[in-house]
Amino acid sequence: MPTAPTDSEYGTALVPTVTPFANGSVDADGVADIAEFVLTNGADGLVPCGTTGEFASLTLEEYETVVSTSVDAADGAPVLPGAASTSVAGTLERIDVAADAGADAVLIVLPYFHGANAPAGNERFLRAVLDDASLPVVLYNIPSCVGQSIDADLIEAVADHPTLAGMKDTSGDLTHLIDVIRRTGDDFHLFQGWDSQLVPAVALGATGGINAVSNYLPGLMAEAIDAAATNDVARGRDLQLNHIAPLFNTSLEFGFAPTTKAALTERGVIDDDAVRPPLVELDDDQVATVRDVLDETLAVAE
């Protein structure tokens, strides 16, 4: 029988929230509106300043604004911001900013641009961060952006560190995720970040998901996690194949932040779908595609 998701103080359905902009600046009211929308419609917690949140396009001051606004708007729900950087010092600086803002944990990646020249380098980096981090840490495996995957051997080597809480896996490699589940204990919270593999991942023992689609359909994603966790195979299959997959594939084609902002604008959650360079907003034809896919799902999901 599939293993139910591990109990997690962070919940199971977390949202990697977008960062809305207005007139070129961070729209703090929009940040709060998104938080209220997702948390009142099925989500358990927030993950601001991740990939979908365009963290790499934010100044440190803007980062603090997004995190602190998310914490205030969450009203006690877990907030786990991204704290990605290319150095130990830079990562720890962002973790401290998140801690001062009241966050519950952070997500970190391996250094990007300059990778380790030997396998031991990645472990050295992670242990240096974990040893001095002021918040619990969730690893974030996204090889398409970082340039390398967090190896299962490395995860197993650091899994028992008292500061390490788990991992978000956005590799799209279900075999890798299963390997990590097998090698880590019940206290290691593993979140699926590849939306089109959410149901099978949870059915096999993942804690839950941190998924872009949950920005605009939080209830649908929470329902999918519940279906997988309770062995409701028919419901889980239908949600995954007929609803989540088309939305995720559209995001994969057009870009996650632009597509998600277009969908949130269509739903009336935010007023502006602006993104920062090098990203660009969707054109009219692409917005129409997003609208059609979204409307088709909404017609049966709500």
pTM (2 decimals)? Answer: 0.95
| Catalytic hit among 63, 168, 216, 261 | 168
Is residue 261 annotated as a catalytic residue, yes or no?
Answer: no
Quote the CA–CA distance of 72 and 36 in Å, as a whole number: 10
pLDDT given at position 256: 97
Per-residue confidence (pLDDT) for residue 6, from 0 to 100: 53
Q: Mean pLDDT in each 10-residue stretch from start to end of the chain (302 residues)?
A: 61 98 97 98 98 98 98 98 97 98 98 89 97 98 96 97 98 97 94 98 97 97 97 96 95 97 98 97 98 89 57
Active-site hit among 10, 63, 112, 140: 140
* pLDDT score of 7: 67
Are 275 and 33 contacting, i.e. CB atoms less than 8 angstroms apart?
no
260 is known to lie in a ligand binding site:
no
Tokens of 68: 């602190």
The tokens for 169 are: 């896996």
The rounded distance, in Å, linking the Cα atoms of 47 and 237 is 26
Q: Tell me what pLDDT residue 1 has.
A: 32
Q: Supply the pLDDT for residue 235.
A: 96
Q: What domains appear along the chain, each with residue ranges and CATH number?
A: 13-232 (3.20.20.70)
d(CA 302, CA 300): 6
Number of neighbouring beta carbons within 10 Å of residue 283: 11
Strand partners, 167: 139, 190
> On the CB side of 184, how many CA atoms lie within 13 Å of its CA?
31
Establish whether the linkage from the previous residue to 278 is cis, with ω within 30° of 0: yes
Q: What is the pLDDT of residue 119?
A: 83
Residue 210 marked ligand-binding: yes
Q: According to the model, what pLDDT value does residue 209 have?
A: 98
